[in-house]
Amino acid sequence: MKSLMLSLSVLALAGAALAAPQPVTLKASDGVPVYGQHTAVPRPRGVLLLFHQADSNLHEYDPVAARLAREGYASLAIDQRLGGGMFGAVNRTAKAAPPADYAQALPDLEAAVGWAKATYPKARIFALGSSYSAMLLFPLAARHPELAGILAFSPADYTGDGLAIRAASTLKVPVFATSRGDPAERERMDVILRAIRTSRVTRFQPVGGGGMHGASSLRDDRNILGTAGQYWAALLKFLRAP
């Protein structure tokens, strides 16, 4: 009984050591306020910037940020100016900002990079994107070769003008890329990946089945194919690579 109580106490203390997510407000280069949620950890192994898909918001990443914290990674999830009310939450940035297209959300991602560099000046900084924001990771990383890596979940040339493809051809940061299991989505991703010349690329598909569109593959409550564990194993291996 004493051993059990001690174990429970240790677990409780470990949970208490993880800080609750805190709201932050950034400002994009064009003056648009960008609302976010920062999950801090003691002595982080790295920092993840978490960018959502269309019609979504920062709460796409609530369980993802919690898991990252348990693995020793701090994170910042933001509401981009192109988003909506998925996951039962309001996208505060989109609600207050003028209507925007995919590419016009790039300054929001840039603001997150600036925040991370100022808040964690010695940490490895990664950017993770979902659907359209996965596409925006490529121009983001082309502008910020100091990033430790990008993780693109279901990227494609959503703008239709080759923005991500052109950026991919100049990329110098490591890339983790994955998509849903269907051939059409894989090919849309591969159009971008084939343009990469020098970066290390980790292309992941789970064994025995596909995944979901975007970062929902990481969520047990959204990944109905039961492959979230495989995605997490691959993601953590990428983050921990030298």
- Looking at the domain assignment, is residue 126 inside a domain? yes
- Looking at the domain assignment, is residue 4 inside a domain? no
* pLDDT classification of 169: cutoffs 50, 70, 90: very high
Give the count of beta carbons closer than 10 Å to the beta carbon of residue 190: 16
Q: Regarding predicted confidence, which is higher, 208 or 229?
A: 229
- Looking at the domain assignment, is residue 132 inside a domain? yes
Q: How does DSSP assign the chain, residue by residue?
A: -HHHHHHHHHHHHHHHHSPPPEEEEEE-TTS-EEEEEEE--SS-SEEEEEE--TT--GGGGHHHHHHHHHTTEEEEEE--SS---GGG---HHHHHSPP--SGGGHHHHHHHHHHHHHH-TTS-EEEEEETHHHHHHHHHHHH-TTSSEEEEES---TTSSSHHHHHHTT--S-EEEE--SSHHHHHHHHHHHTT--SS-EEEE--TTS---SGGGGG-TTT-TTS-HHHHHHHHHHHHH--
CATH of the domain at 112: 3.40.50.1820
Q: Is residue 129's pLDDT more than 60? A: yes
pLDDT in tens, 72-105: 999 999 999 999 999 999 999 999 999 999 999 9
What range does the domain containing 34 cover? 23-240
pLDDT, mean of residues 119-134: 98
- Looking at the domain assignment, is residue 107 inside a domain? yes
Q: Is residue 171's pLDDT more than 70? A: yes
pLDDT, mean of residues 225-234: 96
- Structure token pair of residue 148: 């430790």
Say how many domains are in the chain. 1
Q: Regarding predicted confidence, which is higher, 181 or 73?
A: 73
pLDDT of residue 210: 84
* pLDDT classification of 199: cutoffs 50, 70, 90: confident
The residues near 205 (Cβ < 8 Å, ≥ 6 apart) are 178, 179, 181, 186, 211
pLDDT, mean of residues 200-219: 93
